[in-house]
């Protein structure tokens, strides 16, 4: 018996092979969920879905910045499975810029994918969740939101992820009467392709020195937390931000 038996889950930005989304999708599938992977490239999303354990999973193209595309994803999932139980707003991008180097395009790109995308995908699934009187939305924020960066992303990334926390909590308040929960995960430094090749040895050593557990997190570390929040184990948790950071921020 799995923790997510009979549930349908959407995980955005989950085609990245070593990413947090893919690891989350895999764990959800192992726990009995039917998983819909969305990402920018259809072939990659389909390949990622085909790679999951079990059958019936789906890969869809879905730019989270595009409102119509988000609505189309939700409609396709409802048409195919009849329900949406879980949404993981995982799609995100980052840029290692200093404050004065953030230009309008940088701001738009980072705020749009991380924050606007979380809003648009949530808006797309909420009608179905409200109608079911159940649902769980899990948003990927970041320790950068809580401590003002200091790992890789610039101030615009910290601002976007802090925005995700505010949105998570406001959604939790508004959706709670319909038994729809909204929670955020704040991962610390996790080894994925989001920083691959862009982090110098010196930066890496500095980051590791600030982690009491002495290691980078793994995608599976984050997936485990997403599973808890998505499942009925977290039935009374809403509006929370859960740290998955090896102790790098204890507050």
Ligand X SMILES: NC(=O)c1ccc[n+]([C@@H]2O[C@H](COP(=O)([O-])OP(=O)(O)OC[C@H]3O[C@@H](n4cnc5c(N)ncnc54)[C@H](O)[C@@H]3O)[C@@H](O)[C@H]2O)c1
Catalytic residues: 157
Phi-psi category of residue 242: left, alpha or beta, with phi > 0 → left and psi -120 to 50 → alpha: beta
**Rounded CA separation 97/156 (Å):** 8
CB 236 → ligand X: shortest distance, Å? 25
CB 196 → ligand X: shortest distance, Å? 8
CB 148 → ligand X: shortest distance, Å? 14
CB 91 → ligand X: shortest distance, Å? 3
CB 108 → ligand X: shortest distance, Å? 12
CA 205 → CA 30, 144, 192, 209, distances in Å? Answer: 34, 18, 16, 6
Helices 67-81/117-132 angle, 10° precision = 30
Contacts to ligand X by CB under 6 A: 12-13, 15-16, 19-21, 39-40, 62-65, 90-94, 113, 117, 140, 142, 187, 189-190, 192-194
Residue whose CB is less far from ligand X, 4 or 207: 207
Evaluate whether 12 touches 242 at the Cβ level (below 8 Å): no
Residue whose CB is less far from ligand X, 6 or 166: 166
Residue whose CB is less far from ligand X, 12 or 183: 12
**Rounded CA separation 114/90 (Å):** 8
In a 10 Å sphere around its CB, with 0-12 CB exposed, 13-18 middle and 19+ buried, how is residue 241 labelled? middle
**Rounded CA separation 22/13 (Å):** 8
For residue 193, what are the contacts with CB-CB under 8 A and spacing of at least 6?
16, 17, 18, 19
Residue whose CB is less far from ligand X, 64 or 86: 64
At 251, list the tokens.
């507050």
Residue whose CB is less far from ligand X, 4 or 219: 219
């Amino acid at each position: 018996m799995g923790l997510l038996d009979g549930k349908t889950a959407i995980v955005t930005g989950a085609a990245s092979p070593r990413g947090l989304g893919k690891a989350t999708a895999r764990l959800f599938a192992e726990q009995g969920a039917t998983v819909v992977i969305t990402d920018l490239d259809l072939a990659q999303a389909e390949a990622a879905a085909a790679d999951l354990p079990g059958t019936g999973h789906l890969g869809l193209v879905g730019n989270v910045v595009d409102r119509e595309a988000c609505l189309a994803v939700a409609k396709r999932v409802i048409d195919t499975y009849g329900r949406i139980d879980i949404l993981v707003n995982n799609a995100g991008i980052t840029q290692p810029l200093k404050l004065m180097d953030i230009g309008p395009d940088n701001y738009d790109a980072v705020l749009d994918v991380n924050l606007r995308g979380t809003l648009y995908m949530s808006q797309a699934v909420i009608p179905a969740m409200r109608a079911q009187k159940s649902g769980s939305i899990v948003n990927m924020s970041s320790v950068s939101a809580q401590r003002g960066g200091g790992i890789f992303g610039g101030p615009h990334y910290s601002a976007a992820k802090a925005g995700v926390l505010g949105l998570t909590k406001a959604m939790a308040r508004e959706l709670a009467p319909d038994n729809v929960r909204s929670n955020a995960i704040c991962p610390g430094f996790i080894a994925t392709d989001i920083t691959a090749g862009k982090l110098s040895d010196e930066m890496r050593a500095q980051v590791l020195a600030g982690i009491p557990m002495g290691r980078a997190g793994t995608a599976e570390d984050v997936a485990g937390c997403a599973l808890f929040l998505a499942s009925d184990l977290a039935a009374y948790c809403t509006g929370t931000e859960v740290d998955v950071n090896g102790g790098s921020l204890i507050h």
